[in-house]
Amino acid sequence: MTDKSITILGGGNTAFSIAANLALRGHDITLYEIPEFAHTLQPLEGNNTITLNGAAEVGPAKLIKTTTDISEALDAARLVLVPIPAYAHRPFAEVCAPCVREGQIIVVLPGTLGSLEFSKIFKDRGAAEGVILAETDTSPYVCRKTAPAQAHIWGSVKLGLGVLPASKTTEVTQILEQVFPGITPLANVLECGLSSLNPAVHPAGVLMNAGRIERSRGEFYFYDEGVTPGVVRVIEKVDAERQAIGQAAGVGLRPVADAFHRAGFGPRGNLWETINGSHMLTQLKAPLVLENRWLTEDTPYGLVAWSSLGNQLGVATPVIDSIIDLVSIMIQSDCRKHGRTVKELGLEGMDQVAISQLLE
């Protein structure tokens, strides 16, 4: 990739961390946020600088530009990274649709099938043809903002990549390899979205630790103390149903334990051994409250999407469905009503053959 310009959409933990790390590595970074959330960029006004600490690049990272003008942001680079929560995919896709251009590469990190929702919205809104969409199976870093203009990266993760159309996979992989080394191309965005790690682990893990989270306000190490062998057994049942959905959809999926190891989270072994041996994961505290993204995002936009696709393809998902129902009660929000289904993904009524043709 000779062009060092990259636009990043979003103003959260991962957006700030990616922007800072890539800027320190010599990329020309434009950071965009929707006007409604412009306050996230206000701490950068005047110097466009994010201070980065941790396991990646460190120091003050100077960005080329911060903006709330989507046209300006998309004009700044061919490669556009979108590290935002799944519930923000729709509003960001709607904002981008009038301004994207042919040949532009839009990468959702992580996607959890969000690239398909972007594609449907772009088609519905009459966006330019020839836009390449892609998504990753997880976020590139274990990271958080530590202050309004500071971020900390605990570790880097090896990414799986799906591209839409799949025929552009080699081209996009070669470009992203220079941004996120060690990336693994997957067959298509469906394989990538079904390989997302967060929905497989977070809802079940938080549900099984609900009492402790509420009592302690998250004052314990979630993966080290909360994801015990009994909790892992529930996660493995979710994983088995996820793999069955993949088989019915025509894509082979790694067991979640293998996926965690490949991504660099922990040593090879069963899921308990991989998580328990992870230096990155075992440093993470639990959420402060139940109404957090591990439930409010990973359930309606992850598990609900998987359940919806499984139902359409004739795959029973009793464990996933029970978690959806219990989480809905716990957070007092109907995850199915507000979640992402085959309709939002543009897959409604399609069988395996039709889905495969759409993704080619």
Residue with the larger pLDDT of the pair 35 and 279: 35
In this structure, are residues 21 and 52 in contact, taking their beta carbons and an 8 Å threshold? yes
Res 3: pLDDT: 82
Which residues have a Cβ under 8 Å from the Cβ of 200 and sit 6 or more positions away? 235, 238, 239, 242, 256, 302
Query: Residue 26: its pLDDT value, please?
Result: 97
Q: What percent of the chain stands above pLDDT 90?
A: 93
Q: What secondary structure, in 3-state letters, does the chain show?
A: CCCCEEEEECCCHHHHHHHHHHHHCCCEEEEECCHHHHHHCHHHCCCCEEEEEECCCCEEEECCEEECCHHHHHHCCCEEEECCCHHHHHHHHHHHCCCCCCCCEEEECCCCCHHHHHHHHHHHCCCCCCCEEEEECCCCEEEEEEECCEEEEEEECCCEEEEECHHHHHHHHHHHHCCCCCCEECCCHHHHHHCCHHHHHHHHHHHHCHHHHHHHCCCCEHHHHHCCHHHHHHHHHHHHHHHHHHHHHCCCCCCHHHHHHHHCCCCCCCHHHHHHCCCCHHHCECCCCCCCHHHHCCHHHHHHHHHHHHHHCCCCCHHHHHHHHHHHHHHCCCHHHHCCCCCCCCCCCCCHHHHHHHHC
Cis before 181 (ω within 30): no
Asked if pLDDT for residue 1 goes beyond 60, the answer is no
Asked if residue 9 has pLDDT above 70, the reply is yes
Mean pLDDT of 297-313: 98
Q: Which domains does the chain have, with CATH numbers?
A: 5-193 (3.40.50.720), 196-359 (1.10.1040.10)
Q: How far apart are CA 7 and CA 30, in angstroms?
A: 5
**What's the confidence (pLDDT) of residue 281?**
86
Is it the case that residue 202 has pLDDT exceeding 70? yes
pLDDT 10s digits, 273-285 = 999 898 888 888 9
**Predicted local distance difference test score (pLDDT) of residue 276:** 87
| CA distances in angstroms from 68 to 72, 102, 202, listed in the order given | 8, 22, 32
- Tell me what the pLDDT averaged over the chain comes to: 96
- In tens, the pLDDT along 222-262 reads 999 999 999 999 999 999 999 999 999 999 999 999 988 98
Q: Is the CB of residue 90 less than 8 Å from the CB of residue 16?
A: no
pLDDT in tens, 306-331: 999 999 999 999 999 999 999 999 99
Q: What's the first-to-final CA gap in the chain, in angstroms?
A: 24
pLDDT at position 115, please?
A: 98
Give the mean model confidence (pLDDT) for residues 117-132: 98
Amino acid 279: pLDDT = 84
Tally of CA atoms within 13 A in the half-sphere of 315 that contains its CB: 24
Query: For residue 2, is pLDDT > 60?
Result: no
| pLDDT band, very low/low/confident/very high, at 264 (cuts 50, 70, 90) | confident
Rounded to an integer, what distance in angstroms lies between the CA atom of residue 352 and that of residue 341?
A: 16
